[in-house]
Amino acid sequence: QLVYPYDFRLTEKEKTSICYLSFPDSYSGGLGDTQFSFRLRQSGGQRTTHYEDDGEYNREAPLTLQRESAHYFGYVYFRQVKDSSMKRGYFQKSLVLVSRLPYVNLFQSLLQLIAPEYFDKLEPCLEAVCNEIDQWPPPVPGQTLNLPVMGVVIQVRIPSRVDKPGSSPVKQFNQENLLPAPLVLPSIHELDLFRCFQPVLIHIQMLWELMLLGEPIVVMAPSPTVSSEMVLALTSCLAPLRYCCDYRPYFTIHDSEFKEYTTRTQAPPNIVVGVTNPFFIKTLQHWPHILRVGELRMSGDLPKQVKVKKLAKLKTLDTKPGIYTSYKTFLHKDKTLIKRLLKGIQRKRPSEVQSALLRRHLLELTQSFIIPLEHYIASLMPLQRAITPWKNPPQIRPFRQEDFMKTLEHAGPQLTCVLKGDWLGLYRRFFKSPNFDGWYRQRHKEMTQKLEALHLEAICEANIVAWMKDKSEVEIVDLVLKLREKLVRARCQHLPVKEETLQRVGLYIETIIGSLPEDLQTVLHHH
């Protein structure tokens, strides 16, 4: 019915997709308000964003919270109430917030404030809210922001890449005597993992492995809320490693990618997809891993844990909850985690404490797995003394899987992790996954930039006048052009170089040009 602000351009295809994704696609008898999220592939080419600082934000934000360039997130508030004046006897409407940022807690909290007002007062309410949001500061990683909206101030900290993984967000911010007292969100994006993973706590190990390997997974849930929370919980369980595959927290049969995902002519894509329509049981039964969950109810004791079952058992329509897969885990189950969570349930520990336990366990698991890889890749960096000013910096040595495997005997995950099992087999499978590819590219890019930076520093330290003594004009002009190119690249790519280093290189260039004949000086100044 309405897109606000008006000047925001969505393609017809995107509008249609957003409409379908904004409503539960299978009958839910539940009346009242529900919230869920989706993720949507952008269609129709690149659009300029309002954010020219994309690069800066993405450089400082954790990899898992970067602004998406080819996808939108949709955050939905859906209301369904009886209303005899409507043709269907029901009032059904959704308010959707679309963003490139995965700040699920912030945006869902925002919708809880806006949506009830919007259903009551309609467009003027959106106009007022958008005027307030326009005044908000941009999200700067590491900063705590106060965001006023509808008489409330939401206070939230934007995580930064330099935060220590697993450190809990600062509980008490400086309140600055804000009146009314702010609505403090403990995290901008972290879900209540314990609640989301309730029915599968004893299989957390298996789910972590499936996510690490980028396996195709279907989450079949009774509602978009359960489906989107489970998918987002799964994609977050590798942090601080970035999950590099595609994921759809909620997916409907009307989606433009429906054919692509349900075709049997090729293997299912590396994606986690959340669905609620029973029709998918038939169309997706060739997928290798299907997680079927019921409604999430928080109760005082450990909820019924789903069983691992053979895929062949998935035939019927009233499929029982379970993990339908023939996957055999590489690592053994961690019994201590389950014992600690059970103790927490008996002692009625709050859910956020249980979630912190769970998150810490997953973090330690990921770190045990990734630290040997980090050590090995760091050893591929050329020695600092090999970087000389007048030669191109040496190459980073290639990543050799077999060489890496040899390092595991004396520096493998067994040093930091109590879990036994076939770690080598897990690494071998991981090398074939998009997550390895994404991790390696990111690291390689960072190392290349570090080399460039070290090279610029070496140039700064060098005695340029001595070098020029026995050089021809051609060689000197060539050096000027190369140095200029390096300077431009350092600024464009925001290399990790001190500003004074860049200024010194700039001065060098001027000095060298000054030593050349005037006709060449003119050409180089215009060049």
Distance from C-alpha of 132 to C-alpha of 148, rounded to nearest angstrom: 7
Angle at which helix 434-461 crosses helix 499-514, to 10 degrees, equals: 50
Among residues 150, 147, 109, the alpha carbon closest in space to that of 129 is found at 150
Highest averaged pLDDT of the listed ranges 180-194, 209-223, 299-313: 209-223
472: Cα within 13 Å, side-chain hemisphere: 2
Q: Is the pLDDT of residue 405 over 80?
A: yes
Q: Is the pLDDT of residue 27 over 90?
A: no
Average pLDDT over residues 419-435: 93
DSSP state for residue 285 in the 8-state scheme: T
Residue 418 near residue 491, CB atoms below 8 Å: no
pLDDT-above-70 percentage for the chain: 92
Of the listed ranges 144-153, 391-400, 423-432, 476-485, the least confidently predicted one is 476-485
The pLDDT score that the predictor gives to residue 366 is: 94
pLDDT in tens, 71-84: 999 999 998 888 88
> Please, what is the Cα angle at 266 between 264 and 271, to 5 degrees?
95
The pLDDT score that the predictor gives to residue 179 is: 60
The pLDDT score that the predictor gives to residue 517 is: 81
Distance from C-alpha of 255 to C-alpha of 261, rounded to nearest angstrom: 10
Distance from C-alpha of 148 to C-alpha of 164, rounded to nearest angstrom: 29
pLDDT in tens, 480-522: 788 888 888 888 888 888 888 888 888 878 887 887 888 777 8
pLDDT in tens, 213-250: 999 999 999 899 999 999 999 999 998 899 999 999 99
Among residues 249, 246, 312, the alpha carbon closest in space to that of 285 is found at 312
Question: Would you tell me how many other CB atoms lie within 10 Å of the CB of residue 228?
Answer: 30
> What does pTM read for this prediction?
0.88
Average pLDDT over residues 355-377: 93
Residue 217 near residue 249, CB atoms below 8 Å: no
For 184, list phi and psi in degrees, rounded to 5. Answer: -90, 120
Average pLDDT, the chain: 86
Per-residue pLDDT band at 435 (split at 50, 70, 90): very high
Distance from C-alpha of 478 to C-alpha of 403, rounded to nearest angstrom: 39
Average pLDDT over residues 200-221: 94
In the numeric block, the tokens 């036994």 are attached to 420
The pLDDT score that the predictor gives to residue 170 is: 52
The pLDDT score that the predictor gives to residue 445 is: 92
CA torsion sign, 14 to 16 to 17 to 23? positive
Q: Which residues contact 115 (CB under 8 A, 6 or more apart)?
A: 33, 77, 79, 95
CA separation (Å) from 253 to 40, 222, 241, 260? 14, 15, 31, 11
The pLDDT score that the predictor gives to residue 493 is: 80
In the numeric block, the tokens 């509808």 are attached to 150
The pLDDT score that the predictor gives to residue 300 is: 59
Q: Is the pLDDT of residue 279 over 90?
A: no
Q: Is the pLDDT of residue 126 over 70?
A: yes
Per-residue pLDDT band at 265 (split at 50, 70, 90): confident
Residue 83 near residue 90, CB atoms below 8 Å: yes
In the numeric block, the tokens 């060298």 are attached to 512
Q: Is the pLDDT of residue 136 over 90?
A: yes
In the numeric block, the tokens 């809990």 are attached to 168
Find the DSSP H helices in 82-164. Answer: 104-121, 123-134
Distance from C-alpha of 495 to C-alpha of 488, rounded to nearest angstrom: 10
> Please, what is the Cα angle at 509 between 508 and 512, to 5 degrees?
85
The pLDDT score that the predictor gives to residue 424 is: 93
Distance from C-alpha of 169 to C-alpha of 179, rounded to nearest angstrom: 22
Q: Is the pLDDT of residue 54 over 80?
A: no
Which structural domains are found in the chain, ordered by start?
10-138 (no CATH), 193-435 (3.40.50.11500), 462-526 (no CATH)
Q: Is the pLDDT of residue 311 over 80?
A: no
Question: Burial, 488: exposed, middle or buried (Cβ in 10 Å; 0-12, 13-18, 19+)?
Answer: exposed
Of the listed ranges 11-25, 34-48, 148-162, 439-453, the least confidently predicted one is 34-48
The pLDDT score that the predictor gives to residue 286 is: 84
Buried b (16+ CB within 10 A) or exposed e, 53-92: eeeebbebbbbbbbbbeeebbbbbbbbbeeeeeeeeeeee
Per-residue pLDDT band at 172 (split at 50, 70, 90): very low
DSSP state for residue 27 in the 8-state scheme: -
Per the model's pLDDT, the better-predicted residue between 266 and 247 turns out to be 247
Residue 434 near residue 55, CB atoms below 8 Å: no
Distance from C-alpha of 357 to C-alpha of 193, rounded to nearest angstrom: 10
Average pLDDT over residues 33-38: 93
Q: Is the pLDDT of residue 162 over 90?
A: no
Distance from C-alpha of 393 to C-alpha of 452, rounded to nearest angstrom: 7
Number of H helices and E strands in the chain, helices first, is 18, 12
Average pLDDT over residues 168-181: 57
